[in-house]
């Protein structure tokens, strides 16, 4: 015991020496003036946009008046909105000059985003708007900042690095009780955050209960003059009242030095963010800078320097080189949980993200095929007065695509969510208008994308016009980069049936799916291509609907056998017939595809009362329909297709039947439960847009682990009573999955191996600034959404994880085959065709689009390796390739030339590769 006490005493003394050394070693504090703008929160987002004009005008004035003034603009959208409202060329040049001089630094990131909610391709374009601005204004940057959000997806460093970002700054808000951040703060700052492909950015992260990004004011009181913008009170403790500014700053500096010293911080400088919500740059001019001058003139140490992030990183790299620790892992922070406040808006946004790919791929093909100028325009093109104007004309609808991504970015920004408002901050009118604007962003985008797809398919189908056989041609378009066999749904007029034949005249099995639609299986539709079928309409024959059988609670095909509980229609068993293994954990307290209402304190199963159950059977599929009249869970459909390797489950909720939730209580969560049958906690993999990462192993230290947000699919792999089984769970409208597990030390045992696919977090009441407590009938005013939430599951016996099968199931479930019925007497050049294909299953095409520069004839293919394997992939296209080169993610810098006969690309594990091609038809 004496020896142990001696060791402890020696260690304590040693740590004290280190602590004192670290404190004394700190020579300079780089303080970064900025302002945090939520796109919403304090007022409706469209009102916020207008605030950026006077805000940046004021920054320019302050910077021009004082060469020591510094300011960091944390989001690109701030400058975009200012630029839209600024025509004064002198003012624009003043801004550009101040950026070039280093007084103003601009983040290359569009905004502070819920990165895990965004689609892979939307996140890939996070710096596109900056790239356009930088070229227009002749300015440069190599840093990105995202604040408030306490974490990001593991692939973000690759996106940033391949967009030209070297440095990443984040202030993580830990004040909402939702976790986030890392345990690397503060002692391991800065560190290289590395993506699985090996790309990395040098990162400085701070965090705190007051927001992280407010630390200079709220945590360390280095600006004692400024007050909380929400409460008009100082941030320092009340017991400091009566102290001088310098005395308060000394207290704050001691707190800062102690915090970093106790964490073993080894460097002589730190970076502290001086920011708050919607604050004016006058705060820096009138409050911060006089305080800093007073401190430095008094000769206190460490010296404080008003700076930009560039100043800090230049110092730290100049003095210490670039040999900083490297960490790899996800740390999303999972703030996208806020987006299940408005599940219909979020579901619509997810639909748009997926279908934008179809629209863009389709119109890129059409641009190559039809983008040449009409011969009648040739004289105008040669006219020096008109030619430049005419050359801006494009076949590809670039405005529609850009607007769609911009609107979705507005919702993906970290305030984007229909809600009842922050207590006492906004008026009833502001809350309603904010929610209406979020609804408009996604609803108008969905309408636009639907129109783009239908217009494009009609153009593709009208390549030739000729007299054809009876009936009409149905064009089936596959926007994904592999051949696929999948379900096709066709709407038929009331009282009509359809028959379908393929291009060789063979009849195709058809089955009615609803009163107004039919479905059939399209076989081997080519990669990013099409296949045509002929359909004919006939009067409906009595008794031609699928046979409905009551009292039967089972169905099966060649791969699966499914049973449901007679009482409530919850799935009690799924057997993978190939392995003979049960997929459902039958000893769990809840069933598979069961709805549960819960809070942090209680759980309430919703499968109550006798259900009405019918089994439909036909030549295409079997379907169990469960009806629960009068309940908040009125209907469930379970589809089992004869020719597809997945089971589909769809659940409708009725919010009008849900209990009221007051502002004073805990939010109600509504989740669909999936208990998996494994001998122990399985290996869980989360699809992240660049493959999959493992839960909980592949996370940064201290990251939040209680939930997972995939692009489309969660994959489970583990021992099922002696056989290793992979089960893939696809999700369409919902995305946020609670993983109830313990302990919190990273080993994580998943309770009953059950995932809670959380659909909704429900509040019905808010406290307004003008009328007090208000009940809100909806936070999604005007949204056309029927509250259906769909899932898919597939299973296979495999000793190792199969990323390709998992990814493809998720994509195919979320992005169906697209169809259009062509006008009579029309058909395509051939019965089927592919515009792009790959010969490596582990590589996917994320984007096929015209180049951002707008130079005619140049196109971008973005490839993604998903399995973690080095790969050589051959790209095949019927178009003629004239040039090929690798470029940066933002498409503006050539990296290397590629041979293109054939076009072969070498890719590293999890690499995102952007290829620029010159193509003609």
**DSSP state, 703?**
-
301/296 Cα distance (integer angstroms): 8
The yes-or-no verdict on residue 5 having pLDDT over 60 is: no
Burial bucket for residue 296 (CB in 10 Å: 0-12, 13-18, 19+): middle
573/570 Cα distance (integer angstroms): 9
Closest CA to 457 of 823, 849, 851, 824: 823
- The most confident of 23-27, 209-213, 739-743, by mean pLDDT: 209-213
205/151 Cα distance (integer angstroms): 10
pLDDT mean over 386-397 = 67
Q: In what order do the strands lie in the sheet with 560-564?
A: 554-556, 560-564, 571-576, 581-582
The yes-or-no verdict on residue 15 having pLDDT over 50 is: no
The yes-or-no verdict on residue 822 having pLDDT over 50 is: yes
pLDDT of the residue at 604: 86
The yes-or-no verdict on residue 12 having pLDDT over 50 is: no
pLDDT of the residue at 378: 67
Strands (E), 257-313: 269-274, 303-306
pLDDT of the residue at 691: 98
pLDDT of the residue at 24: 67
pLDDT of the residue at 515: 85
pLDDT tens, position by position, 453-476: 999 999 998 765 555 556 788 999
pLDDT band at 11, cuts 50/70/90? very low
pLDDT of the residue at 347: 99
The pair of three-digit structure tokens given for residue 133, joined into one six-digit string: 């601005």
pLDDT mean over 490-519 = 91
The yes-or-no verdict on residue 371 having pLDDT over 70 is: yes
What's the CA angle centered on 487, arms 484 and 491, to 5 degrees?
135
List, in order of start, the domains of the chain with CATH numbers: 22-333 (3.20.110.10), 334-463 (no CATH), 469-541 (2.60.40.1180), 547-814 (2.70.98.30), 836-921 (2.60.40.1360)
716/728 Cα distance (integer angstroms): 6
347/788 Cα distance (integer angstroms): 10
The pair of three-digit structure tokens given for residue 84, joined into one six-digit string: 């839209």
pLDDT band at 907, cuts 50/70/90? very high
pLDDT band at 8, cuts 50/70/90? very low
Closest CA to 202 of 146, 157, 264, 266: 157
Burial bucket for residue 461 (CB in 10 Å: 0-12, 13-18, 19+): buried
pLDDT mean over 517-534 = 96
Q: Model pTM?
A: 0.94
pLDDT of the residue at 298: 98
Q: Which long-range contacts (CB under 8 A, 24 or more apart) does 290-293 make?
A: 290/225, 291/222, 291/223, 291/224, 291/225, 291/245, 291/249, 292/31, 292/222
Average pLDDT, the chain: 93
Q: Which range among 107-121, 390-404, 585-599 shows the weakest confidence by mean pLDDT?
A: 390-404
pLDDT mean over 308-327 = 98
The pair of three-digit structure tokens given for residue 168, joined into one six-digit string: 């990443």
pLDDT of the residue at 480: 99
465/451 Cα distance (integer angstroms): 22
Closest CA to 880 of 828, 833, 917: 917
| Better-scored residue on pLDDT, 379 or 726 | 726
pLDDT of the residue at 610: 83
pLDDT band at 746, cuts 50/70/90? low
Q: Which range among 32-46, 65-79, 130-144, 489-503 shows the weakest confidence by mean pLDDT?
A: 489-503
| Better-scored residue on pLDDT, 138 or 472 | 138
Strands 143-148 and 269-274: unpaired
pLDDT mean over 699-703 = 96
H/E/C letters for each residue in 18-31? Answer: HHHHHHHHCCEEEE
The pair of three-digit structure tokens given for residue 618, joined into one six-digit string: 């036909």
Closest CA to 884 of 903, 865, 871: 903
H/E/C letters for each residue in 519-575? Answer: EEEEEEECCCEEEEEEEEEEECCCCCCCEEEECCCEEECCCEEEEECCCCCCEEEEE
Q: Which range among 21-25, 120-124, 507-511, 855-859 shows the weakest confidence by mean pLDDT?
A: 21-25
The yes-or-no verdict on residue 616 having pLDDT over 50 is: yes
Mark out the alpha helices in 144-244 (DSSP H runs): 156-161, 215-218
220/256 Cα distance (integer angstroms): 6
pLDDT of the residue at 474: 93
Omega of the bond leading into 695 within 30 degrees of 0 (cis): no
Instruction: For residue 864, list its beta bridge partners.
Output: 844, 912
pLDDT of the residue at 663: 79
Residue with tokens 């100028």: 373
Q: Which range among 214-223, 260-269, 829-838 shows the weakest confidence by mean pLDDT?
A: 829-838
Omega of the bond leading into 743 within 30 degrees of 0 (cis): yes
Distances (CA, A) of 120 to 126, 146, 570: 10, 18, 33
pLDDT of the residue at 367: 94
816/803 Cα distance (integer angstroms): 20
pLDDT of the residue at 384: 72
Q: Which range among 131-145, 263-277, 664-678, 839-853 shows the weakest confidence by mean pLDDT?
A: 664-678
| Better-scored residue on pLDDT, 11 or 247 | 247
Q: Which range among 13-17, 110-114, 788-792 shows the weakest confidence by mean pLDDT?
A: 13-17
pLDDT of the residue at 494: 80
pLDDT of the residue at 9: 42
């Amino acid at each position: 015991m004496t020896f142990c006490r001696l060791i402890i005493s020696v260690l304590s003394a040693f740590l004290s020496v280190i602590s004192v050394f670290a404190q004394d070693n700190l020579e300079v504090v780089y303080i970064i003036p900025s302002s945090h703008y939520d796109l919403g929160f304090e007022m409706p987002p469209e009102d916020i946009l207008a605030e950026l004009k006077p805000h940046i005008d004021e920054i320019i004035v302050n910077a021009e008046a004082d060469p020591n003034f510094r300011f960091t603009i944390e989001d690109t959208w701030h400058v975009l909105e200012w630029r839209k409202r600024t025509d004064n060329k002198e003012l624009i040049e003043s801004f550009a000059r101040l950026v070039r001089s280093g007084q103003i630094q601009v983040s290359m990131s569009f905004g502070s985003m819920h990165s895990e909610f965004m689609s892979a391709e939307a996140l890939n374009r996070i710096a596109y708007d900056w790239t356009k601005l930088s070229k227009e204004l002749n300015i440069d940057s190599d840093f990105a900042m995202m604040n408030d959000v306490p974490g990001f997806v593991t692939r973000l460093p690759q996106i940033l690095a391949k967009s030209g970002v070297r440095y990443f700054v984040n202030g993580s808000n830990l004040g909402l009780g939702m976790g986030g951040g890392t345990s690397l703060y503060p002692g391991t700052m800065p560190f290289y955050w590395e993506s699985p492909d090996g790309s990395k950015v040098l990162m400085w992260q701070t965090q705190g209960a007051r927001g992280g990004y407010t630390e200079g004011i709220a945590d360390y009181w280095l600006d004692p003059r400024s007050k909380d913008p929400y409460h008009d009170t100082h941030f320092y403790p009340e017991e400091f009242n009566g102290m001088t500014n310098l005395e308060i700053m000394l207290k704050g500096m001691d707190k800062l030095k102690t915090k970093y010293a106790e964490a073993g911080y080894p460097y002589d400088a730190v970076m502290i963010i001086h920011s708050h919500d919607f604050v004016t740059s006058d705060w820096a001019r009138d409050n911060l800078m006089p305080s800093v001058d007073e401190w430095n003139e008094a000769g206190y140490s460490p010296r404080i320097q008003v700076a930009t992030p560039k100043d800090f990183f230049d110092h730290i790299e100049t003095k210490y080189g670039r040999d900083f620790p490297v960490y790899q892992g996800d740390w999303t922070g999972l703030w996208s949980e806020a987006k299940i406040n408005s599940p219909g808006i979020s579901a619509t946004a997810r639909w748009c993200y997926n279908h934008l790919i179809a629209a863009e791929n389709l119109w890129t093909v059409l641009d190559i095929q039809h983008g040449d100028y009409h011969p009648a325009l040739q004289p105008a093109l040669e006219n020096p007065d008109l030619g430049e104007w005419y050359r801006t004309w494009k076949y590809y609808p670039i405005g529609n695509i850009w607007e769609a991504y911009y609107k979705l970015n507005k919702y993906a920004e970290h305030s984007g969510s229909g809600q009842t408002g922050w207590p006492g901050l906004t008026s009833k009118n502001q809350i309603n208008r904010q929610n209406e604007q979020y609804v408009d962003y996604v609803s108008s985008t969905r309408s636009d994308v639907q129109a783009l797809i239908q217009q494009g398919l009609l153009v593709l189908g009208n390549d030739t016009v000729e007299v054809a056989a009876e009936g009409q041609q149905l064009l089936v378009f596959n926007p994904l980069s592999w051949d696929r066999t999948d379900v096709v749904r066709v709407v038929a007029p009331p009282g009509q049936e359809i028959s379908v034949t393929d291009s060789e005249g063979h009849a195709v099995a058809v089955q009615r799916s609803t009163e107004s639609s039919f479905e059939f299986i399209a076989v081997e539709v080519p990669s990013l291509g099409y296949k045509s079928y002929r359909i004919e309409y006939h009067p409906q024959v009595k008794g031609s609907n699928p046979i409905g059988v009551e009292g039967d609670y089972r169905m099966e095909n060649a791969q699966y056998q499914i049973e449901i509980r007679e009482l409530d229609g919850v799935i009690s068993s799924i057997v993978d017939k190939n392995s003979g293994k049960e997929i459902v954990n039958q000893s769990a307290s809840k069933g598979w595809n069961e709805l549960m209402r819960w809070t942090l304190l209680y759980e309430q199963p919703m499968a109550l009362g006798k259900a009405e159950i019918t089994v439909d059977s036909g030549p295409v599929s079997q379907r169990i329909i469960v009806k629960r009249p009068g309940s908040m869970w009125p209907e469930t459909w379970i589809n089992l297709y004869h020719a597809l390797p997945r089971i589909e489950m769809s659940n409708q909720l009725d919010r009008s039947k849900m209990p009221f939730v007051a502002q004073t209580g805990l939010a109600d969560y509504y989740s669909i439960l999936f208990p998996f049958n494994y001998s122990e906690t399985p290996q869980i993999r989360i699809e992240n847009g660049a493959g999959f990462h493992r839960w909980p192993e592949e996370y940064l230290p201290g990251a939040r682990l209680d939930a997972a947000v995939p692009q489309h699919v969660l994959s489970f792999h583990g021992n099922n009573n002696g056989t290793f089984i992979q089960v893939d769970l696809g999700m369409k409208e919902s995305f946020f999955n609670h993983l109830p597990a313990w302990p919190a030390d990273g080993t994580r045992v998943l309770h009953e191996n059950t995932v809670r696919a959380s659909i909704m977090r429900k509040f019905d009441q808010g406290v307004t600034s003008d009328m007090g407590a208000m009940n809100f009938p909806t936070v999604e005013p005007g949204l056309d959404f029927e509250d259906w939430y769909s899932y898919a599951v597939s299973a296979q016996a495999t000793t190792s994880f199969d990323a390709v099968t998992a990814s493809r199931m998720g994509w195919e479930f979320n992005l169906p085959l697209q169809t259009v019925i062509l006008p009579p007497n029309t058909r395509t050049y051939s019965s089927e065709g592919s515009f792009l294909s790959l010969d490596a299953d582990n590589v996917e095409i994320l984007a096929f689009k015209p180049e951002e520069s707008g130079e005619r004839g140049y196109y971008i293919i973005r490839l993604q390796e998903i399995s973690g394997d080095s790969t050589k992939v051959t790209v095949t296209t019927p178009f003629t390739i004239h040039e090929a080169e690798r470029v940066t993610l933002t498409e503006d810098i050539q990296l290397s030339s590629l041979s293109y006969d054939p076009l072969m690309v070498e890719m590293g594990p999890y690499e995102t590769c952007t290829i620029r091609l010159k193509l003609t038809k």
